[in-house]
């Protein structure tokens, strides 16, 4: 007999973790709605022509490709089998699992552009798949929560993203976090002033690993990528920025004085800081981080990354401004900006910090216990009345001893139990027991419905 197993990097979720996940998702969903975002969904499968080339070389390697249906190898020659993996894959696979929600969203916008009101604000909560090496906080299948605005280049959108991040995390109980922000124009400016113009992509891939491998290893990788010693020496200010935002902006303006595009990036970030201040955000957890690059190749303006402090987990959110993404699908000039919140990593943070409310585990509010068969004549109508009042209620389906039924209620964190036996059948007064305090009282069915509706 074959032993059942799961693919590495994937998980099952039972009732308790699902209750927590639904609490997390609904909290984020409510925040998105308050900012005027509308929900959409896209298929798990996308054509590889949609996905390839949007995430950089490393991202393309992490795409899950799906073999063509039927005899996928028909028509292939011996020479085809000798080709490199990339070329061969494109001949035997036309579809793949989505890597993120942003590229499918861009495809959706282009295909539905005549039906959308611009600017279009959407949120999307669905699983994505990446052929990554599984480790703590990193899975091959995970859920993302995305919020994007397309059809405007206003920096007000960046400021509202900062506000949404603060509101979402604080509503989940995560108080100690940092919203790191950079701008791709600044990275382009840095490449110019260090004499590596046009190599900002290679620079971004290397410095994006700074938190993981440290400055020394980043320098080694830059050398391997063809950066001269002179250019690397000129990068020294990147690793020595002051923590205070205004001082950092001042140092940036001085360092990038000869780069128009770099100075434009600085000006954009300063405006975001000013707008957030005008919104009146209390205790803003914003940090300018010029080493923040993010490897995705489609960001053209602001870049966001959120870290939960005090826990050994990677970034829990990221995103940025993309001016050219829809251009790949025949719709140039449509600017957009968005963020993605990593549900699984946020879940792990909340578990580690014990932030989930106990009430989130209560799927049922009251259990009706029939102590004898005739009790169902009172218990079943009571169940219907409770459910009509939106009170989650259930009955233990089997004939069993009282202890077993009460143990069932405790195991499911059910706070109330209604006991119906011979005495209750005679008097019409049912016994309502509070499973938390142990207190119980005699009430009519109507009184129980009224009491639990208020609970």
Binding-site residues for L-histidine sit at 100-102, 130, 144, 148, 294, 298-299
Pairing of β 416-420 and β 393-395? unpaired
Tokens of 284: 């803003």
Length reported for the chain: 455
- End-to-end alpha-carbon separation of the chain, Å? 50
Tokens of 108: 């959706």
List, as one string, the DSSP characters of 106-145: HHHHHHTGGGPPSSEEEEEEEEEE--PPPBTTB-SEEEEE
Which among 410, 416, 401, 408 is positioned nearest to 371, based on CA atoms? Answer: 401
CA angle 25, 30, 31 (to 5 degrees): 100
Please state, in angstroms and rounded to a whole number, the distance separating the CA atoms of residues 86 and 75.
17
Show binding-site residues: 100-102, 130, 144, 148, 294, 298-299
Q: Would you report the helix, strand and coil content of the chain in percent, each value rounded to 5?
A: 45, 20, 35
Neighbour-count burial for 50-72, b at 16+ CB within 10 Å, e otherwise: bbbebbbeebbeebbbeeeeeee
Please state, in angstroms and rounded to a whole number, the distance separating the CA atoms of residues 280 and 163.
10
| Packing angle of the helix pair 260-279, 245-255 (nearest 10 deg) | 160
Tokens of 104: 């499918």
Tokens of 61: 């390697």
Tokens of 259: 């780069």
Count of Cβ atoms closer than 10 Å to residue 380 Cβ: 13
């Amino acid at each position: 007999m074959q032993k059942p197993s799961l693919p590495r990097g994937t998980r099952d979720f039972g009732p308790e973790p699902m209750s927590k996940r639904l609490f997390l998702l609904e909290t984020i969903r409510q925040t998105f709605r308050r900012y005027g975002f509308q929900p959409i969904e896209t298929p798990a499968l996308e054509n590889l022509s949609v996905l390839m080339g949007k995430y950089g070389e490393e991202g393309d390697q992490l795409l899950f490709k799906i073999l063509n249906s039927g005899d996928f190898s028909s028509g292939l020659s011996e020479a085809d089998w000798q080709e490199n993996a990339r070329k061969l894959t494109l001949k035997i696979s036309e579809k793949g699992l989505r890597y993120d929600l942003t590229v499918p969203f861009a495809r959706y916008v282009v295909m539905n552009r005549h039906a959308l009101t611009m600017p279009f604000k959407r949120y999307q909560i669905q699983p994505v798949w990446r052929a990554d090496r599984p480790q703590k906080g990193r899975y091959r299948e995970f859920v993302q929560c995305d919020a994007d605005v397309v059809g405007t280049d206003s920096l007000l959108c960046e400021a509202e993203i900062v506000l949404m991040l603060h509101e979402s995390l604080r509503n989940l109980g995560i108080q100690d976090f940092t919203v790191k922000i950079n701008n791709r124009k600044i990275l382009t400016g840095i490449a110019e002033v260090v004499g590596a113009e046009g190599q900002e992509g290679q620079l971004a891939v290397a410095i994006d690993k700074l938190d993981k491998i440290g400055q020394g290893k980043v320098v080694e990788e830059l050398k391997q990528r063809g950066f001269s010693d002179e250019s690397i020496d000129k990068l020294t200010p990147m690793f020595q920025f002051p923590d205070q935002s205004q001082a950092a902006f001042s140092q940036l303006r001085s360092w990038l004085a000869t780069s128009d595009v770099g100075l434009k990036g600085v000006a954009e970030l300063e405006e975001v800081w000013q707008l957030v201040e005008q919104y009146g955000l209390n205790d803003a957890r914003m940090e300018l981080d010029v080493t923040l690059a993010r490897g995705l190749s489609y960001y053209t303006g602001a870049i966001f990354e959120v870290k939960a402090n005090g826990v050994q987990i990677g970034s829990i959110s990221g995103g940025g401004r993309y001016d050219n993404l829809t251009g790949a699908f025949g719709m140039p000039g449509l600017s957009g900006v968005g963020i993605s919140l990593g549900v699984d990593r946020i879940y792990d943070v909340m578990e580690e910090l014990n932030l989930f409310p106990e009430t989130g585990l209560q799927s049922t509010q009251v259990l009706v216990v029939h102590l004898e068969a005739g009790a169902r004549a009172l218990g079943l109508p009571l169940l219907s009345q409770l459910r009509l009042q939106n009170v989650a209620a259930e009955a233990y389906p089997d004939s069993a001893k009282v202890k077993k039924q009460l143990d069932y209620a405790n195991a499911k964190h059910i706070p109330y139990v209604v006991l119906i036996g011979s005495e209750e059948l005679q008097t019409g007064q049912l016994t309502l027991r509070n499973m938390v305090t142990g207190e119980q009282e005699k009430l009519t069915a109507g009184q129980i419905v009224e009491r639990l509706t208020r609970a």
